[in-house]
């Protein structure tokens, strides 16, 4: 599998990153270990998790995913694996540190140490802020609402916390997630002012139906020399084709958890996916190959984050994430995007 060096890091990561958010809820530890073994055999060396996982988040399972990964790492050793995890942002998560989720220096440092203990490693390669402290439109919302402003630690304090962890050897680099263009630039401005490292990656939703990272965010990534880690490149499974024509398979995530993935359940998303499915049939490829091949083609991509609940899905997804689309297919995708620019947000 091809590897890409994340700008400013020296980290050579596989173009497929193994996602883990189902481990501990939909997947048992044994199934997670099987996924890990298979992914490594395919050349994957990049694994992404979070202190909040598995999803949907709750007090019963929080932290279980990191623990499962830690058990596997303790048996195998980390070798050349690149391990990424995240500190949860503020919100109604009373079971995380008894509700202390403001992104102040103390919380970030405590969370990193707790993740290190669960993962059973001495350092984290990429430590990410799962979502911003401040008021921003997230998870498919498109309008900024000033009435939702709230107080909280400044970005400079978050940068200082990350710098302290880097100096202590607890993390090598840090990144952002679910972040905006202003946030990316402000983190770098604060880092330059303080004379410390800035963030190196942005993990945002990105797919054929979620293209917010293609506009001003892409410019920010280019100018700040960052790369995109694309999560939900299959739009929560919508771009697998299993939900076409209103289907709702009984064991699917959207059937099991009816509040998940609301951004992908908008009527315009279904229309767009039907158009992409027709294009895939016309080209003689699968919808998964079309979707993941498109994400792979983007210049700002560092890696596609691929998760699955079954081994059959994982095999198909890893193969498809290495698929290269030809120029006529990319041109046909661009034509559909004229009709459906960013339906999921």
Alpha-carbon distance of 236 to 103, in angstroms, equals: 27
CB neighbour class for 81 (10 Å; exposed up to 12, middle 13-18, buried from 19)? buried
User: How many residues comprise the chain?
Assistant: 345
C-alpha to C-alpha distance for 199 and 47, rounded to whole angstroms: 18
On whether the CB atoms of residues 177 and 129 are closer than 8 A, the answer is yes
**Calpha distance 263→266 (Å, rounded):** 6
Write the DSSP assignment of 52-116 as a string of letters: T-SSS--TTTTTHHHHHHHHHHHHH--TT-EEEEEE--SSS-TTSGGG--S--HHHHHHHHHHHH
Residue with tokens 């699955």: 308
DSSP, res 23 = B
Q: In the 8-state DSSP scheme, what is residue 6? A: P
How many C-beta atoms surround the C-beta of residue 192 within 10 A? 11
Catalytic residues: 53
Nearest to 236 by CA among 263, 267, 216: 263
Q: Give strand pairing partners of 201.
A: 227
Cβ-based burial of 30 (10 A; exposed 0-12, middle 13-18, buried ≥19): exposed
Which token pair is 2? 């091809």
């Amino acid at each position: 599998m091809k590897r890409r060096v994340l700008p400013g890091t020296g980290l050579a990561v596989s173009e497929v990153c193994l996602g883990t958010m189902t481990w501990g809820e939909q997947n048992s530890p044994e199934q997670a270990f099987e996924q890990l073994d298979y992914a490594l055999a395919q050349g994957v060396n990049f694994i992404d998790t979070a202190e909040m996982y598995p999803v949907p988040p709750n007090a019963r399972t929080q932290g279980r995913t990191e623990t499962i990964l830690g058990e596997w790492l303790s048996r195998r050793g980390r070798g050349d694996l690149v391990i990424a995890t995240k500190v949860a942002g503020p919100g109604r998560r009373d079971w995380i540190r008894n509700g202390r989720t403001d992104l102040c220096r103390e919380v970030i440092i405590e969370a990193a140490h707790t993740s290190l203990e669960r993962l059973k490693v001495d350092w984290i390669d990429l430590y990410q802020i799962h979502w911003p402290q401040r008021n921003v439109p997230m998870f498919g919302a498109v309008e900024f609402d000033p009435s939702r402003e709230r107080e909280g630690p400044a970005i400079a304090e978050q940068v200082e916390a990350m710098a302290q962890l880097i100096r202590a050897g607890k993390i090598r680099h840090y990144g952002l997630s679910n972040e905006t263009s202003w946030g990316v630039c402000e983190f770098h401005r604060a880092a330059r002012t303080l004379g410390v490292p800035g963030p190196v990656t942005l993990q945002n939703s990105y797919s054929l139906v979620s293209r917010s990272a293609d506009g001003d965010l892409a410019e920010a990534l280019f100018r700040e020399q960052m790369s995109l880690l694309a999560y939900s490149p299959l739009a929560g499974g919508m771009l697998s084709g299993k939900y076409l024509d209103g289907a709702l398979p009984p064991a699917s995530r959207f059937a099991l958890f009816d509040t998940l993935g609301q951004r992908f359940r908008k009527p315009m998303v279904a229309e767009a996916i039907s158009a992409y499915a027709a294009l895939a049939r016309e080209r003689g490829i699968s919808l998964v190959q079309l979707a993941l091949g498109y994400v792979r083609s983007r210049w700002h991509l560092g890696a596609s984050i691929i998760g699955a609940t079954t081994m059959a899905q994982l095999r198909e997804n890893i193969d498809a994430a290495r698929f290269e689309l030809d120029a006529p297919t990319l041109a046909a995708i661009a034509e559909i995007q004229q009709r459906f620019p960013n339906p999921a947000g």
